[in-house]
Structure 1
Amino acid sequence: MRLVRHPVLCNYYVTYRCNARCSFCDIWEKPSPYIQLADVERNLRDLKQLGVSVVDFTGGEPLLHRHIHEFVALAHDMGFVTTLTTNCLLYPKYAEKLRGKVDMLHFSLDASEKEVHDRGRGVACYDFVLESIRVARELGERPDILFTVFRENLSDLEAVYRDIAQPNQLMLILNPAFEYNNVATGEQLSAEELDYLSAFGRRKGVYLNEAFIQLRRDGGNHIAKPVCRAASTTLVISPSNELVLPCYHLGEQKFPIDGNLVELYQSPAVQGLAALEGRLPQCEGCTINCYMQPSFAVETSKYFWQALPSTLKYNISKGTWKRMLTR
């Protein structure tokens, strides 16, 4: 049964540019402009009208945009729950300006050892993560550690949890790696490794959406009976001020917004493409977390009930449920 029939999340790409070269991502290879403040202001008003509650400012590396603090502040002051993920190379520079404006601030860290993390990210950023943790805590911020899980770093979870997340009283978010297009992420987790990850996710101070694990056990999205609701739950806005459908990773079509996001979203062309969510040939086997998370939240299914405990655990810990109630 569908519980929510309007979009709940906006993935707002401020730029596709990135100062890292992660082996499991191809976004940094794309040429890209930067979003403009006037467009952000208009689009945020329209997002509010459409019922969106969470705005994720993303990239690329979002802190490459010199006005990122203005975008986040504007969205936060309008009542949106704001999220931002960074590799931390620029966080110490922007920390004071971002203070109090990011509800879900994620620092990417995939290993406990500097050499291993930096090799996976293609740039020396491990020391910047540790420095960013120190700076954020001094400012009274509560960032999370976002750990992208592969087979080769699964054994490193314990050290990151024990030596970095817990001593700094930070939530450790487990983000199982996913494949898309031609980006290789190595061998998929085995059934035993999924069981280990699931058990780890039940620890204090750890967040893992259990429905992500179940979806992988089930072989991902199936086009004959899709669980993905990407296009109806999530609006993807590009740095060129385009609406991207059905999701960023497929990017079948891009529609210029031109100051009319509400009208565009409700147009037959967009709604027709949105109706194909989870049903395109490329959607078979998909496990992309950033679209499955809202998909699981808007209709009752086994994934809804499996996602609910961890979602409540995280939002209670972070206090973001209060922001949701006061929108």
Structure 2
Amino acid sequence: MRLVSHPVLCNYYVTYRCNATCSFCDIWERPSPYVTLENAKANFEALKKLGVKVVDFTGGEPLLHRQLDELLRAAKNAGLLTTVTSNGLLYPKYASKLRGLIDMLHFSLDSPNKEEHDTSRGVKCFDKVMESIQIAKSLNERPDILFTVFENNIHQIEQLWKDICLPNDLVLILNPVFEYNNVGSQLSSSALQELRNWGKKRNIYLNDAFVQLRIDGGNHVDNPVCLAGSTTIVISPENKLVLPCYHLGLKEFPIENHLEELYQSDEVQKLIALEGRLPACEGCAINCYMQPSFAVEINKYWWKALPSTLKYNFIKGTWKQLF
């Protein structure tokens, strides 16, 4: 049973540029402009009218955008929740400008070991993440740690949780790695079970529906769970609507300050109707689009996602802003 028929999330790519070269991501290889404040303001108003609740300012590295604070302020003025994930390199420089503008701030950290984390990111950023945590706390921000889980780092969850997250009262978000475009990898069944056990711990967030979807072999085109097109609006740095999702990106539509009309057009709606049913959708388990998919339709994944969703929103207090 479908609970929500409108989009709830916008993945807003403010730039594809990045100051890291992560081994499990290829977005930093793409040339890219930066979104303009004028276009963004028009889009925020349209997003609100379309029913979107949350805007994820993403990239690339979103802090590379010199006007990120203005973009965030405009989104909040439009009544939208904001989220930003950063590698921490630029946060100490811009923290004071961003204060109070990010509802869900995540710092990426894939190992409690400085050398291992920096190697995986292709740049020395471990110390910057540690510095960013302290600066954010001093500004009364409540950052989370986003830990991308691989087979080769799952054993480090305990150390990171005990040494970094618990002492700083941070939520540890476990983000199972996913495959796309021959990037990323899969987790073994034993690793998935271990993740489930960790998800029950204090100050740890794991969407158990991610685990269940992997056990089930990902999305299946004959009975799709992915609702990427109808739950998530993807906007590129070129101010284009990307469908059915960023990773597949079959078609891009110039927005030209008409996002609401464009999204509701027959051409876009016909493509949205193919969500999860395209050949490339078979076996997909991309977290960015599955999370909102799990939230809008009651099925076994909705029930699997519910406990962790309630847990995180209770800890962060963001549930109050969703109504």
Please report the TM-score for the alignment, with normalisation by the length of structure 1: 0.98
SS in 1 for 2:153: helix
Describe the superposition over 1:261-292 as per-residue Cα deviations: whole angstroms up to 9, x where unpaired: 01100111100111110011110000000100
Distance 2:20 2:188 in 1: 29
Deviation at 1:74, TM superposition (A): 1.3
2:157 corresponding residue in structure 1: 157
2:172 corresponding residue in structure 1: 172
SS in 1 for 2:102: coil
Alignment gaps of 5+ in structure 1: none
Find out whether 1:202 has 2:200 as its counterpart. yes
Distance 1:100 1:59 in 2: 21
**1:1-327 matches, cutoff 5 A:** 1-183=1-183, 185-186=184-185, 188-325=186-323
Deviation at 1:196, TM superposition (A): 0.7
Aligned residues: 323
Letter aligned with residue 227 of structure 2: R
SS in 1 for 2:182: coil
Distance 2:131 2:31 in 1: 30
Distance 1:238 1:277 in 2: 19
Contact 2:83 2:102 in 1 (8 A): yes
SS in 2 for 1:145: strand
Alignment gaps of 5+ in structure 2: none
Contact 1:79 1:323 in 2 (8 A): no
Please report the TM-score for the alignment, with normalisation by the length of structure 2: 0.99
Distance 2:78 2:252 in 1: 27
SS in 1 for 2:234: strand
Distance 2:91 2:222 in 1: 43
SS in 2 for 1:254: strand
Deviation at 1:78, TM superposition (A): 2.1
Deviation at 1:191, TM superposition (A): 1.4
Deviation at 1:167, TM superposition (A): 0.5
SS in 2 for 1:255: strand
Deviation at 1:94, TM superposition (A): 1.0
Distance 2:59 2:302 in 1: 28
Structure 1 ranges of 4+ moved more than 2 A: none
Aligned alpha-carbon RMSD (Å): 0.6
Deviation at 1:77, TM superposition (A): 2.5
Contact 2:18 2:61 in 1 (8 A): yes
Percent of pairs with identical residues: 66
